[in-house]
Chain A
């Protein structure tokens, strides 16, 4: 392992570098590191590659962009805006779009890549959630991922505001309103952030420093930590033949995985470039420069802020006057600050809550199939339905136009649906998961249905079942059940109060809810006899002269 002396077979250049760097041992070990192979493990990679594209194109944009709110008269080559007063920031973005060679393409790639970055993070998060990949020992990495998502949202919003066009100006105005909705400190916080009244002359240059320095630096640091943890903890894998909690089955980093991942980078870059070249994004020349007296119909943020736009639009107008002196507007505070705060807090706490309810403190390197954790899967789809409803609420005017509906009706529908639909989705998802579990259990105990019906000599009909294949068996066996905690006694036999009674009671109730409807795990004996029966049934089928089909050929390797 640690043999670093020159070897006859190794090339001279290798020895030259190794004798100066001395990494060969670590390299040797790490280049052979194995990664499991599945398409859903590449979603996070899309986010990573988008981030690299963002760094490259962003650097190009900084060469021409001027983060200044000084008023200038536009005299560039876009005729419909000639002679219009605007901020230097907006004028320089127009210059990038129309007068810098390749500027339009790079700007559009940058914006599409930003949308990809956050979308890929969200999809990656969903994969991690629904497969239970956040369980011990990966809780910290889950939190790092949430941190990355938060930073991504901030980076997106700060970048969206930089061109100082009409749409982003409206977005900033909403942001300023949200800051003002903070109780007690709102007005001061606004003055602090904007350097005075909205819009002032400071906010663009401040956002610029945050957007190109602070946020990318922080994202880079967190990405590094995120990947280092994946490296040291090793990647999770789906249950399959030969895969256990203690091994990793897949391809070595070099050459297979490097080729696949490296190739995928170019695919992501290619798709982003194609979109940037063919499809307009953020046509700031149509929006016009920002002035506080203008607004356009269809003012929306980019998709990742859309859920907040929706919560703001759907929220009923509530406002209090305290002693007729202080105005308190929960109609902004609740949807724009409390709701996202709650969403992220719940996501952050979730891995710890789940392990507290199930009492599962073991390490997990094998992923759960979503159906095998019905309550978790149902919670996930429930939250997702809430998020998607908020999305639709945020685009209520576009939806109203596209489908000839009343915007008021959509808003009222959303107010009701946000409360009614998620619980329904929860119930339906859990039922579907349990149904799929039953199907799995049936395959284990009675074999697979072959669709071949036999008529017995006595006149009855039976369907031939074949044993489950070697490859499928580990998948079906991967399900686990969790204990239901006993309801605690308030006072024990000796009249002593149970310590932490309330917490124990809650835990017991939650675990009963968590495991509701769980099917018993069959014993190995039951499974073997079930598979044996299926095999016997097949042999019986042969006796009746049924032609051997594909199933038999596969299952014959079973014994």
Chain B
């Protein structure tokens, strides 16, 4: 002890004491914290989902959408967008955004399904909006009529997404994306939330039965059955013309050169 007391006038003693005190406080805090958190968890699993979402949101979304989802100059407010919108944007990989541009592109999602649901639950607390459709609602497409779906698709969707859902250009670099990778749930969510340039198709505009039929028709398209052979991207006559000039006429001209070549 005497040795230690002798050390107390050392110039590093105060620093050492400071670190010791800091360590004591942090250990004490984590102990108290551990006592508090399990108590909150007991209230319900919804709350943990929201909390988890809150943490993920603060980490991955708040830099553009604001700490409370109020929006900043880099991103819109999320109050009232609803869980369906968050689930659509995050599960298609559009959010978080890679770079600002005319349109956010579909890419590999950054969050797994559980994290996505947590984010959706958290954002839903900002204000009322469309909820993620239930499994029964989405799976209704399996009982829907494919030909009715086709008729509805051509009336409501084809003008932007093209006759086979291959996508199409919109103004100023925006576009209606290809539907080839969209899952039934994502299609449903897109219809009720209207992401980016897409209009919202409320249940008054398109009844749940009509939505199911449209999903059914898109599933039919995505089977990619081509009774006529290679489909050339299902983009219409432009690719057909390209193949004709490059492959068709190219081959015939090669043959013509071969026939016209003189025997030497």
Contacts and interface: CB of A to CB of B under 8 A. Distances in A.
A105 to B, nearest CB: 9
A303 B240 contact: yes
A297 B252 contact: no
B96 interface: no
A289 B236 CA distance: 15
State which size class the interface on B falls in.
35 or more
Nearest to A38: B260
Contact of A401 (B151, B159, B167, B240): B167
Interface string B137-172: 000000001111011001100111111101111111
Interface string B203-235: 000000000000001001100001111111011
A280 B164 CA distance: 14
Contacts of A41: 260
B237 A279 contact: no
A293 B156 CA distance: 10
A536 B227 CA distance: 71
B154 A288 contact: yes
Interface in A381-424: 395-398, 400-401, 404-409
A40 B260 CA distance: 8
A279 B237 CA distance: 12
Nearest to B227: A104
Given A39-B261, A298-B166, A398 B228 contact: no
Contact of B248 (A43, A115, A300, A398): A115
B contacts with A: majority SS:
helix
B150 A296 contact: no
Nearest to B103: A404
A260 B259 contact: yes
A296 B227 contact: no
Contacts of B145: 83
B191 to A, nearest CB: 17
B220 A297 contact: no
Contacts of A112: 244, 248
Given A280-B228, A295-B158, A271 B252 contact: yes
B253 interface: yes
A301 interface: yes
Given A287-B163, A400-B173, A294 B249 contact: no
A488 to B, nearest CB: 47
A46 interface: yes
A79 interface: yes
A303 B249 CA distance: 13
A402 to B, nearest CB: 9
Contacts, number: 198
Given A97-B227, A279-B229, A281-B240, A123 B249 contact: yes
B27 interface: no
Interface string B167-191: 1111111011000000000000000
Interface string B77-113: 0000000000000000000000000100000000000
A278 B244 contact: no
B84 to A, nearest CB: 25
Contacts of A263: 259
B243 A300 contact: no
B257 A303 contact: no
Contacts of B35: none
B158 A297 contact: yes
Contact of A294 (B158, B168, B228, B238): B158
B2 interface: no
Nearest to B168: A297
B245 interface: yes
Contact of B171 (A120, A268, A286, A408): A408
A281 B241 CA distance: 10
Given A41-B260, A288-B150, A283 B231 contact: yes
A346 interface: no
A353 interface: no
Contacts of A555: none
B251 interface: yes
B155 A293 contact: yes
Contacts of A81: 147, 150
B260 A42 contact: yes
B255 interface: yes
A119 to B, nearest CB: 5
Nearest to A160: B237
Contact of B256 (A43, A97, A306): A43
B180 to A, nearest CB: 13
B169 A297 contact: yes
A431 to B, nearest CB: 27
Nearest to B151: A84
A297 B240 contact: no
Contacts of B226: 280, 283
24 contacts: A39-B256, A81-B150, A116-B248, A119-B244, A120-B252, A123-B249, A267-B255, A275-B247, A279-B228, A280-B232, A283-B164, A283-B234, A294-B154, A294-B155, A296-B163, A302-B237, A303-B238, A303-B241, A306-B237, A398-B239, A401-B167, A401-B168, A405-B173, A408-B171
**Can you list the 10 inter-chain pairs with the closest CB atoms, starting with the nearest?**
A297-B168, A303-B241, A39-B260, A280-B228, A406-B173, A397-B169, A296-B163, A400-B169, A296-B158, A297-B162
Given A167-B163, A271-B248, A279-B229, 13 more contacts: A37-B262, A39-B253, A39-B261, A112-B248, A115-B240, A166-B163, A167-B237, A267-B255, A283-B231, A294-B155, A297-B168, A401-B167, A409-B173
Interface of A: 37-43, 46, 79-84, 97-98, 104, 108, 112, 115-116, 119-120, 123, 166-167, 260, 263-264, 267-268, 271-272, 275, 277-283, 285-288, 293-303, 306, 395-398, 400-401, 404-409
